[in-house]
Structure 1
Amino acid sequence: MIRELTEKDHANVMKFLLQDPSINLFIIGDIEAFGYHSPFQKLWGEFHDGDIKAVLLKYFESYIFYCKDKNHFDSEAFAAIMQSNTNPVTLSGKADLVEKFEKLPNLALGKKRVTYFAQCETKREIQITETINKATIADIDRIVVLQHSIDEFNTTVETKNMLKKAIESKTGRTYFLENNQGDIISTVSTTAENSQSAMIVGVCTHKDYRNQGLASKLMTALVNDVLDEKQYVCLFYDNPAAGKIYKNVGFMDMGLWTMYR
Structure 2
Amino acid sequence: MRAITVPACPITNSGQQSKSKKLVLKVVTPVVISSFVIFLLVLIWTLKRQKKGKSKDAENVPEIRTYELVSYPEIQRATNNIDGSNLIGMGGSGSVYKGTLSSGIVVAIKVLDLQNEEVCKRFDRECEVMRNVRHKNLVTVITTCSSEHTRAFVLEYMPNGSLENWLYGEDCHLNLLQRVTIMLDVALVIEYLHHGHATLIVHCDLKPTNILLDENMVAHVCDFGISKILAVSMSTAHTETLGTLGYIAPEYGLEGIVSTSGDV
Same fold (TM over 0.5): no
More helix by share: 2
Q: Which structure would you say has the larger Rg? A: 2
TM tier relative to shorter chain: under 0.3
More strand by share: 1
Q: Tell which has more relative contact order, 1 or 2 (C-alpha 8 A, sep 6+).
A: 1
